[in-house]
């Protein structure tokens, strides 16, 4: 499946073998396939879910709790049958008197063990009447909890979740810029090596032409064997250089394909493989307002979001020291139920109330957590200041490198013109017999060096452009 997907990407990107791939296409493929970018995208999704979960804390929570328990013994409120004395109402005294056994002398008979009169009548409560079957007990409850005031902790958690989502987006932007920069480096390396391959092929042709001329002169006796061997060695060196450049070009194409998420053997023809135009002037890339740079840099935005998160954690720690109020409602039921004398069926009822929690004394634990949160915030602010100072230096270095790249390119253009003229003069002088083969080889070497430096300078301008856009936070992708 993965191979089919990669093949589909190739067909979409290239359409046909002859179609060239632009830098934007390589960037888009890399962003779509890069694992770090995908991880950053998943982090954004996760942060969004965390924000939604934090919002839900404002709303009432409804829960159900159920349970079952088997008891070895049933509940017996009486150990034996209960015999309770009875009383009769005396109309004369208006009081209730115990119904007691009266002796022949008319005095109630007393029970020696209890010291109370012996009752003449009793009310019998059998032991079984006060025994309840609780071997199998089922119970459950639906509860509703509505936070009213949680010391500001719910709001702080929502702020943390919101800033966490912003932080994830900034980290995604930071990772994307790093991927773009790697793509540009690999892309322009391919362009550079393709130009150097063309240069190496031209050098091989030049040296081969010189070798034929020297061979003809050797046959005519106007050149020595040493002259021919010198040119032959130079020809072999040019062929070796061409082979190395060709191998490097193949490897650089593989590296670019790998960065784009394609199979390394993908044949990629790049749109800019022929450097037909030069870069513009450096004035358009100059940046003077560092506040705009600070606001645009995703890595600095990560630190700013971190500061906001730490400030919200301060509020979270402060909320742990404040009272908390919540409203509670419940519907509880059980079998047997206690509402109707342990009746063997489900029964229950509603209840409502409120809870209040006031932290009183925790030996300074909560307060020290609050102080620790403030220290973390202060450290994060110092880190942001340090990073802004480093960004100042980074932007300055990028500006100088960009200006230097343009100056270097201008000088290489002049050097190449001189090398072209020098090579032509050497070839003419060699044909006229006033210069030797060594002079032509030296001119060819200087010509190759000048052209190679021009290629490096032009590629350097493009890399400086993308690096400057990266450090100033203006990179478009």
pLDDT in tens, 263-286: 988 888 888 886 554 444 444 455
Q: What are phi and psi of 214, to 5 degrees?
A: -65, -35
Distance of alpha carbon 474 from alpha carbon 477, whole angstroms: 10
Nearby residues of 473 by Cβ (< 8 Å), 6 or more positions away:
292, 293, 295, 296, 297, 298
Quick check: 80 pLDDT over 50? yes
pLDDT score, position 15: 42
Quick check: 253 pLDDT over 50? yes
SS3 of residue 63 by DSSP: strand
The DSSP secondary structure of 422-473, one letter per residue, reads: HHHHHHHHHHHTSS-HHHHHHHHHHHHHHHHHHHHHHHHHHHHHHHHHHHTT
Q: What are phi and psi of 361, to 5 degrees?
A: -150, 120
Residue found under tokens 């790697």: 182
Candidate ranges 75-84, 121-130, 159-168, 225-234; pick with highest mean pLDDT: 159-168
pLDDT (tens digit per residue) in 345-378? 888 889 999 999 999 999 999 999 999 999 999 9
Q: Measured between alpha carbons, how far is residue 9 from residues 12, 32, 260, 267, 475 in Å?
A: 5, 10, 10, 13, 25
Distance of alpha carbon 258 from alpha carbon 138, whole angstroms: 63
Segment holding 230, helix H or strand E: helix 225-259
Quick check: 435 pLDDT over 90? no
Distance of alpha carbon 465 from alpha carbon 286, whole angstroms: 10
**Residue 83 banded pLDDT, cuts 50, 70, 90:** confident
Q: What are phi and psi of 320, to 5 degrees?
A: -65, -15
Please say whether the beta carbons of 99 and 91 come within 8 A: no
Polymer length in residues for the chain: 477
Please say whether the beta carbons of 109 and 100 come within 8 A: yes
SS3 of residue 119 by DSSP: strand
% of residues, the chain, pLDDT over 90 = 62
Nearby residues of 378 by Cβ (< 8 Å), 6 or more positions away:
none
Mean pLDDT of all residues in 146-157:
93
Q: What are phi and psi of 22, to 5 degrees?
A: -85, 170
Please say whether the beta carbons of 196 and 245 come within 8 A: yes
Segment holding 70, helix H or strand E: strand 61-70
Q: What are phi and psi of 127, to 5 degrees?
A: -60, -40
Nearby residues of 250 by Cβ (< 8 Å), 6 or more positions away:
none
Q: Give the predicted TM-score (pTM) of the model.
A: 0.79
Mean pLDDT of all residues in 425-445:
89
pLDDT score, position 91: 85
Mean pLDDT of all residues in 127-135:
78
Residue found under tokens 């030049």: 206
Look at 281 and 413; give whichever has higher pLDDT: 413
% of residues, the chain, pLDDT over 70 = 93
pLDDT score, position 315: 94
CA dihedral for 128, 131, 137, 138, sign (positive or negative)? positive
Least confident of 123-127, 176-180, 329-333, 375-379: 123-127
Residue found under tokens 């179609």: 19
**Residue 25 banded pLDDT, cuts 50, 70, 90:** very high
Mean pLDDT of all residues in 258-264:
92
Segment holding 125, helix H or strand E: strand 122-125
Please say whether the beta carbons of 76 and 204 come within 8 A: no
């Amino acid at each position: 499946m993965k191979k089919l997907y990669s093949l589909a990407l190739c067909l979409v990107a290239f359409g046909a073998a002859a179609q060239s791939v632009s830098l934007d296409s390589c960037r888009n493929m890399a962003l779509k396939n890069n694992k770090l970018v995908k991880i950053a995208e998943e982090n954004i999704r996760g942060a969004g879910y965390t924000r939604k979960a934090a919002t839900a804390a404002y709303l009432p929570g409804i829960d159900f709790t159920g349970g079952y328990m088997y008891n070895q013994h049933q509940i017996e409120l009486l150990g034996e049958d209960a015999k309770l004395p009875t009383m009769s109402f005396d109309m004369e005294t208006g009081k209730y008197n115990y119904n007691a056994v009266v002796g022949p002398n008319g005095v109630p008979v007393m029970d020696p063990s209890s010291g109370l009169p012996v009752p003449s009548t009793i009310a019998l409560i059998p032991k079984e009447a006060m025994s309840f079957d609780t071997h199998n007990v089922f119970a459950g409850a639906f509860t509703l909890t509505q936070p009213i005031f949680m010391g500001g902790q719910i709001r702080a958690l929502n702020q943390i979740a919101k800033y966490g989502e912003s932080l994830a987006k900034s980290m995604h932007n930071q990772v994307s810029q790093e991927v773009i920069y790697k793509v540009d480096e690999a892309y322009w390396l391919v362009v550079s090596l393709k130009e150097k391959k063309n240069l190496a092929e031209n050098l091989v042709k030049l040296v081969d032409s010189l070798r034929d001329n020297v061979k003809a002169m050797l046959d005519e006796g106007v050149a020595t064997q040493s002259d021919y061997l010198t040119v032959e060695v130079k020809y072999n060196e040019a062929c070796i250089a061409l082979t190395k450049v060709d191998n490097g070009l193949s490897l650089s194409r593989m590296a670019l394909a790998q960065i784009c998420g394609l199979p390394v053997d993908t044949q990629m023809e790049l749109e800019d493989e022929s450097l037909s135009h030069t870069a513009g002037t450096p004035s358009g890339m100059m940046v003077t307002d560092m506040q705009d740079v600070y606001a645009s840099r995703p890595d600095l935005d990560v630190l700013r979001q971190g500061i906001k998160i730490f400030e919200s954690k301060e509020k979270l720690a402060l909320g742990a020291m404040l009272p908390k109020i919540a409203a509670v409602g419940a519907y509880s039921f059980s079998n047997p139920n206690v509402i109707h004398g342990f009746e063997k069926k489900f029964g229950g009822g509603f209840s409502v109330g409120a809870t209040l929690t006031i932290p009183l004394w925790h030996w300074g634990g909560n307060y020290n957590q609050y102080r620790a949160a403030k220290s973390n915030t202060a450290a994060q602010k110092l880190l942001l200041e340090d990073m802004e100072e480093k960004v100042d230096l980074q932007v300055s270095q990028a500006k100088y490198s960009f200006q230097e790249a343009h100056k270097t390119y201008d000088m290489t253009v002049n050097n190449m013109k001189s090398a072209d003229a020098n090579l032509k003069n050497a070839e003419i002088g060699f044909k006229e017999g006033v210069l030797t083969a060594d002079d032509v080889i030296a001119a060819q070497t200087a010509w190759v060096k000048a052209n190679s430096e021009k290629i490096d300078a032009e590629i350097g301008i493009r890399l400086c452009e993308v690096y400057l856009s990266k450090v100033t936070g203006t990179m478009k992708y």
